[in-house]
Amino acid sequence: MRHLSYKTQFAKKETHQREWFVVDATDLVLGRMAAKVASVLRGKHKPTYTPHFDAGDYVIVLNSSKVILTGSKLDDKNYIDYSGYPGGKKEETARNLIKRRPNKIIERAVKGMLPKNRLGKAMVKKLIVIDGPTHEHAAQKPKELKIN
């Protein structure tokens, strides 16, 4: 029996090319958008996806304050931060967080869908969230990312 010499191609630093994508979060559901953005940041949309290598692309999310939360999540969903000191627990509803820091709600949703290790920390650095319709990364020629 003869062995075929097909080799799996893994992504490497020397051969990998990063792309830029832009997403308009206006009227998009937070969880569905965050899942697609996390997939692009990981590189799962590419045929050369490698779990142990950061093969993902850069993603710019615009209009972060216009994202939608379905059902009664605006009032029921709580975001908890803890400083590490006694009495340092802070809770905030999604409605207040969107008013106060609209970028934070998208950053937390996407970060929760990435690996919890060094690789995940490197991936989340490629996410740029902006509360507004314009960005300063036109030189990178970002493509529009379609989210159904």
pTM value is 0.90
Question: 103, exposed or middle or buried, with CB in 10 Å at 0-12, 13-18, 19+?
Answer: middle
Domain residue ranges in the chain: 20-73+111-144
pLDDT value of position 9:
77
CATH class of 20-73+111-144: alpha beta
Tens of pLDDT along 55-90? 999 999 999 999 999 999 999 999 999 999 999 999
Q: What is the pLDDT of residue 4?
A: 65
Helix (H, G, I), strand (E, B) or coil at 20: strand
Residues with pLDDT less than 70, the chain: 1-5
